[in-house]
Amino acid sequence: MKKILIIGAGAMGSAFSIPCAENNNDVTIIGSVLENDFISSMKSNKHLHPSLNLVLPNNIKIEKFEKISVVTDTDLDLIVVAVSSVGIDWAGDEISKFYKSNTPIILLTKGLSIIDDQLTTLTEKLEMILKKNGHNKVNISSVKGPCLASGLANKMRTGTVIANKNIKEAQKIQNIIQTEYYKCEISDDIEGVEISSAIKNLYSMLIGGSQGLSNPKASKEIQEKYYLNTAASLIHRSISEMIEIVNNYSGKTDTVYGLAGLGDIYVSVSGGRNSQMGKYLGQGYLYKEAKEKFMKSTTVEGAQLAFDIGPKLMAKFDKRKFPLLFSILECICENKKLQIDW
């Protein structure tokens, strides 16, 4: 039995707790400081998770953040970070208060940052925070792939990839979390996995706009029926651009074709929030207009990523080589209509 701490009580962190607990591990979910009311609600409703619409198993402990010192009094075998990308700084500082050398950490969060004018993966950012706080021996893996939280929580067959520069560390985590329905590949290409899983959110918005982009002169009925030619073309061209970007940052081509790239794009385009925003953009709405009118209270990860890293990417890359990337970045960052140079 391994002792696992999951930081973040949202849909993904809570869904991830289910295969972890099923492997006879001692699992505790600790909510962030912003989730106290959420945790209280779950505790008073027999562990019913409102986002997942599912009761978490009784052997999974759920606590407010104020209880974290109790959980970390004894050694942890695995720390899981399942906060939003904007919460990584907070999570890193809090983990630093109890972290012990080389304790495995896995990061579920998808995203990228710009630090000192350089594109930085979130695993690199978390490592920087821990080292800044005095921890020189840090062991962080990335777990990414086409994994919708509700599907995992309901034990739908799911595949992800565990990435660590030390492949043996990825294997150790695989042995802790893998189940009959939750299968994990392993990789030493942590840069490729992190970058693929993040930038696919940008391309998912673009592909989500396929209906409106297919033939702007056609009726909505015709667009909805026959847009798949356009979507397939955009998926192909998106993967080609993603390969160039990942290669530029020392990642591997095969990673883009794997679960963290092509696999994750498929899931996102099939019904995620990024593709939903893309649908509105394809219909001709400006980003600010669509956000206000249709998705005001919904987090659109791809749009947040565009604001975070878009200016850096547009300054670094040639628009002629990355027409799709520039189309979506200009649409979001400069609030322009989504247009593609076919």
> Looking at this protein, which amino acid is placed at residue 303?
A
d(CA 177, CA 108): 13
Taking CA atoms, 47 is separated from 39, 56, 304, in Å, by 9, 5, 31
Give the residue among 164, 159, 154, 196 at the shortest CA–CA distance from 178: 159
Q: 45 near 17, Cβ under 8 Å?
A: no
Please name the residues in contact with 76: beta carbons below 8 A apart, sequence gap of 6 or more.
3, 4, 5, 100, 103
d(CA 245, CA 256): 10
Tokens 């590949």 belong to: 185
Q: 112 near 190, Cβ under 8 Å?
A: no
The reported pLDDT for the residue numbered 62 is 96
The reported pLDDT for the residue numbered 286 is 98
For the question of whether the overall pTM of this predicted structure is more than 0.85, the answer is: yes
d(CA 212, CA 10): 33
The reported pLDDT for the residue numbered 122 is 98
Please name the residues in contact with 239: beta carbons below 8 A apart, sequence gap of 6 or more.
256, 257, 261, 262, 265
Residues listed for the chain: 342
Taking CA atoms, 83 is separated from 15, 29, 91, 136, 307, in Å, by 13, 12, 8, 23, 19
Residue 228, φ and ψ in degrees, nearest 5: -65, -30
The reported pLDDT for the residue numbered 271 is 80
The CATH number that domain 3-188 falls under is 3.40.50.720
* Alpha-helix runs per DSSP H in 209-270: 210-214, 220-226, 228-248, 253-256, 264-269
> Looking at this protein, which amino acid is placed at residue 91?
A
Residue spans per domain, the chain: 3-188, 192-333
pLDDT tens series, the chain, 342 aa: 999 999 999 999 999 999 999 999 999 999 999 999 999 999 999 999 999 999 999 999 999 999 999 999 999 999 999 999 999 999 999 999 999 999 999 999 999 999 999 999 999 999 999 999 999 999 999 999 999 999 999 999 999 999 999 999 999 999 999 999 999 999 999 999 999 999 999 999 999 999 999 998 999 899 999 999 999 999 999 999 999 999 999 999 999 999 999 999 999 999 889 999 999 999 999 999 999 999 999 999 999 999 999 999 999 999 999 999 999 999 999 999 999 887
Tokens 């400006």 belong to: 286
Superfamily of domain 192-333: N-(1-d-carboxylethyl)-l-norvaline Dehydrogenase; domain 2 (1.10.1040.10)
